[in-house]
Structure 1
Amino acid sequence: MLTYLGNYVLGRRVAVFSGSFIDAFARLGVGEHAVRSTLARMVDRGLLARHRAGRRMHFGLTPRSEAILLDGEDRVWRRGVLNTDWDGTWTVLAFSLPESWRRVRHDLRARLGWAGFGSLGNGTWIAPSPVDVPALVDGLGLDGRLKVFTGPAQAPTDVPAMLREAFDLGPLAAGHRAFLRRWDRPEPLPGAPDDLARYLWMSAEWLELVRADPRLPVEHLPDGWPAVRGQRVVMELRRRWEAPARGIADAAMECVEVRPPPRLRPPPSSSARSPRSDA
């Protein structure tokens, strides 16, 4: 669903008819009940907003979902999974939270994983790049509970060994190899009904890999790292399918325009006189 929204709704002031979602996901073998349940859950989580037009229900993005999709677009299509220009900078983060903060700890770890951190144990996490940690942990109430440092590793640190310790490379490599087995062929997914279905499947599967991949420096990864070939395959298939998939999606998508909320007029400054001040 996030892939569909990012591809065809992000950047447009529209809300999409629920039936359009159902028709699009039927191409992937997803039933109507599952689509409606997903839409409802996303509304509950603040990722979609309902818009009624007559008797029809439409769904549009929220500021929260727009921010998530823009971040995902940057991660997937601009940065990718290959860190080929690493300057040697690490971000090191340490924290210690009380047991009663279990939910906060879970949210923090999820955010650290998305930002490319791996755990060295005992509350110490590392990422092979500068990370805007204040923005990453915003809203978690962790002021004074984190210690953050950036800089290069110093001798006698064995960087490849540290990567193997902090990041589980085996499942990462296995995920990329599974992607290549499905998509690195002349005619991928021949049983799909059209290029929209193929592009959604491919983009969603690649997004899952990007979410799990910490974008490690290629120079310290094992020879023949499969993400190198995977990144190339993704870009080739995007050039092949993006335009026809968008044509199919746009033709099948019923939308209504959504106006942005009106801007509130700022209150008068304290130095401004009230209209009654001369009375």
Structure 2
Amino acid sequence: MTGAERVSAQSDAGPKPSGEPSPRLRPQSLMLTYLGNYVLGRGIAVFSGSFIDTFARLGVGEHAVRSTLTRMVGRGLLERHREGRRMHFGLTARSEGILHDGEDRVWRRGVLNTDWDGNWTVLAFSMPESWQRVRHDLRARLTWAGFGSLGNGTWIAPSRVDVRPIVAGLNLNGHLKVFAGPAEEPTNVPNMLREAFDLDGLAGGYRAFLDRWDRPGPLPHAPDDLARYLWMTTEWLQLVRDDPRLPVEHLPEGWPAVRGQQVLLELRDRYEAPARSLADAAVEYIRVS
């Protein structure tokens, strides 16, 4: 998946009552979480009114929902399906790929790299200054794939990475050099990681997640467990998409993602079943091929 496929929208969602922190999440991010949990793999297209009713639980108004659906159609993430006077929206091959990737990052890969083989991937690129769009796309794709920048066109990832699918379609033959192997002395690996990755910012994101969710009865102002589940999984996905999954031996002491993942799994066990029941009761759909 490319960085360009990350979601964006103009307005924040969700009520923000004083004294109770809520995730500040964009409607399209929440929309993809909803689609990944309740539409992916079912061969259905959802009635627009169902989106409006469901996202009202999150404080997202009708105008924001309709605007989000329209933008997602324009980006090739949704397809319209009309039945009479009612408009339904279904997934595309592109959105299915994004949703499967998100599902893998949240529930299968885990946030910790516990089986690192000691290898790094180093990528260096050089291209004409006039290739600004290509440069931007490449940087976005590398960030999405877990690379961090050391500057001067040099990027590293804490594993052996096949970069061919990452750079596919950018026509960069002759402009890239890729190596893989262990770091050699006198490389200061902790300093290199802090140079390439915003570890303080990432840790701050995990701590904010814990402040919100690692407590008895998280988000008591939320209307129900469907709202909590969508908020929680969307927030976590945004964190892990920015996390390069550094080897555990190179993580700072007390890395908050460890506890964060424990909390996520505990709350999934609490919220998942009631959230699905609420989602199923609220959705109207048609079958699509």
Q: TM-score, normalising length from structure 1?
A: 0.91
Q: Please state how far the C-alpha of 1:219 moved relative to its aligned partner.
A: 1.1
1:50 to 55, 80, 104: 80
Matched letter for residue 109 of structure 2: R
- Correspondence 1:7-156 to 2 at 5 A: 7-156=37-186
- SS across alignment from 2:131: helix
- Who is 1:231 aligned against? 261
1:183 to 190, 209, 213: 213
**2-side partners of 1:45 and 1:155: how far apart?**
46
**2-side partners of 1:254 and 1:151: how far apart?**
52
Q: Please state how far the C-alpha of 1:179 moved relative to its aligned partner.
A: 0.5
- Who is 1:276 aligned against? none
Matched letter for residue 83 of structure 2: A
- SS across alignment from 1:125: strand
For the aligned residues, what is the CA RMSD? Answer: 0.9
**2-side partners of 1:112 and 1:73: how far apart?**
20
1:253 matched to 2:280: no
Q: Please state how far the C-alpha of 1:143 moved relative to its aligned partner.
A: 2.1
Q: How many residues align?
A: 259
* 4+ runs deviating over 4 angstroms: none
Matched letter for residue 53 of structure 2: D
**2-side partners of 1:183 and 1:135: how far apart?**
36
Overall identity of the aligned pairs, in % = 80
**1-side partners of 2:41 and 2:140: how far apart?**
27
- SS across alignment from 1:141: coil
Any idea what the Cα deviations from partners look like across 1:162-198, whole Å, max 9, x if unmatched? 1111111111111110110000011100111110000
**1-side partners of 2:186 and 2:248: how far apart?**
20
Q: Please state how far the C-alpha of 1:80 moved relative to its aligned partner.
A: 2.2
Structure 1 window deviating more from structure 2 (5-14 vs 97-106): it is: 97-106
Unmatched 5+ stretches in structure 2: 1-30
- SS across alignment from 2:130: helix
Choose 1 or 2 for highest CA Rg: 1
- Who is 2:10 aligned against? none
